[in-house]
């Protein structure tokens, strides 16, 4: 009899999570009832926001309850359906979390056309790509000739942001950790420059890469990296605040030192959650699909294999070991 391997939240970590934060269990594969769909997940998305869901602190979404399956986006295939909107063989994207099978009444389940690899619908033409699109174009409002800086530039969101900036005729500058990531950002993705935040000369290198200052700072990291970019912002600069990954495992919060620059430079800083902008998703996905198919937007994936390896892959992503989108291949 087939079983459904699941990864559940076992404990709320203080600081960086470890194996004790999760427990792996076997459950029966559920049987769909009238109106329901059974999906065999082929890929699981791992994303930085998941670290926040492990905490009990108040946030934009409720925390994962202890003992529950960890949350996460999935892409897979319908294997049984008692819902007239789906048939066996349909490729779908959903949010079944860290498990091999998922049961749905059809809500929140989206068919994909299969023109691109299935895993891409969790990355460049999924939530991360849409986050880059809406955050940059709607909040950052880049104009031709301006300079756009994006932190975590080799990650799932940041790698798309810089390419979208280039499509708008901007100078794209990435910030990433280490030479291999910076080489990927400039040589493969086409950014104009990339600065290694681990370098002792980071501040000087950032200044050299942004000779005309910074008009848009797409912020994914926070901490000292954000402070350094705030110092380079031009008057009326824009800061789409997407993430603060450097702080997700911190036990003491980092206090920004360049807050005064936000005032005298008349900066527009706006935090955003991509699910608040569902009306923009269809246009974003349509544009991204075309640009990926045409080779105007490129992507990479870091792939772990097997649901039981999801925790270790998650830890690696939090340490910044992934290049591009981190996914887990389940089939």
DSSP string, 142-165: --TT-EEEEESTTBTTHHHHHHHH
Task: List phi, psi (to 5°) of 288.
Answer: -65, -40
pLDDT band at 198 (very low <50, low <70, confident <90, very high): very high
Q: In the predicted model, is pLDDT for residue 290 greater than 90? A: yes
Q: In the predicted model, is pLDDT for residue 192 greater than 90? A: yes
- For residue 330, give the DSSP letter: -
- What is the three-class DSSP state of 56? coil
Least confident segment among 163-172, 202-211, 256-265: 256-265
Task: List phi, psi (to 5°) of 30.
Answer: -70, 155
Determine what percent of the chain is predicted with pLDDT higher than 70: 100
CA gap 70, 78 in Å, rounded: 21
Question: Residue 126 has which token pair?
Answer: 């999924």
Binning the chain into helix, strand and coil, the percentages to the nearest 5 are 30, 25, 40
pLDDT one-digit tens code per residue, 52-105:
999 998 889 999 999 999 999 999 999 999 999 999 999 999 999 999 999 999
Task: List phi, psi (to 5°) of 196.
Answer: -85, 110
Ranges of CATH 3.90.180.10 domains, the chain: 3-123+300-329
Q: In the predicted model, is pLDDT for residue 114 greater than 90? A: no
pLDDT at 1 (0 to 100)? 63
Q: Does domain 3-123+300-329 have CATH number 3.30.420.40?
A: no
pTM: 0.96
Question: Residue 176 has which token pair?
Answer: 């990433």
pLDDT band at 246 (very low <50, low <70, confident <90, very high): very high
Q: In the predicted model, is pLDDT for residue 3 greater than 80? A: yes
pLDDT at 172 (0 to 100)? 98
Task: List phi, psi (to 5°) of 35.
Answer: 90, 0
Ranges of CATH 3.40.50.720 domains, the chain: 127-275
**CATH among 3.40.50.720, 1.20.140.10, 3.65.10.10, 3.40.50.850 for 127-275:** 3.40.50.720
Q: Are 129 and 192 in contact (CB under 8 A)?
A: no
CA gap 105, 122 in Å, rounded: 21
Compute the radius of gyration of the chain from its Cα atoms. Answer: 20
């Amino acid at each position: 009899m087939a079983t459904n391997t699941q990864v559940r939240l076992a404990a709320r970590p203080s600081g960086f999570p470890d194996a004790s934060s999760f427990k792996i269990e076997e459950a029966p594969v559920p049987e769909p009832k009238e109106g329901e769909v059974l999906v065999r997940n082929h890929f699981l998305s791992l994303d930085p926001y998941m670290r926040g869901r492990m905490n009990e602190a108040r946030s934009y979404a409720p925390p994962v309850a202890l003992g529950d399956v960890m949350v996460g986006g999935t892409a897979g295939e319908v294997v049984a359906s008692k819902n007239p909107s789906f048939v066996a063989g349909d490729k779908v994207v959903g949010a079944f979390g860290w498990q091999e099978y998922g049961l749905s009444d059809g809500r929140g389940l989206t068919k994909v056309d299969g023109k691109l690899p299935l895993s891409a619908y969790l990355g460049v033409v999924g939530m991360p790509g849409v986050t880059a699109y809406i955050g940059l174009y709607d909040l950052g409002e880049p104009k031709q000739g301006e300079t756009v800086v994006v932190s975590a530039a080799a990650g799932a969101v940041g790698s798309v942001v810089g390419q979208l900036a280039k499509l708008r005729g901007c100078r794209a500058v990435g910030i990433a950790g280490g030479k291999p990531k910076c080489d990927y950002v400039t040589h493969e993705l086409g950014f104009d420059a990339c600065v290694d935040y681990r370098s002792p000369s980071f501040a000087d290198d950032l200044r050299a890469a942004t000779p005309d200052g910074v008009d848009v700072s797409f912020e994914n990291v926070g901490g000292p990296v954000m402070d350094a970019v705030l110092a380079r912002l031009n008057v009326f600069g824009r800061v789409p605040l997407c993430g603060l990954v450097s702080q997700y495992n911190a036990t003491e919060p980092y206090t920004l030192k360049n807050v005064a620059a936000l005032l005298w430079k008349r900066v527009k800083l706006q935090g955003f959650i991509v699910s608040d902008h569902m009306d923009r998703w269809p246009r974003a996905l349509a544009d991204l699909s075309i640009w990926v198919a045409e080779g105007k937007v490129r992507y990479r994936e870091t792939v772990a294999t097997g649901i039981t390896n999801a925790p270790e892959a998650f830890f690696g992503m939090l340490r910044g070991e992934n290049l591009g989108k981190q996914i887990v291949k389940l089939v």
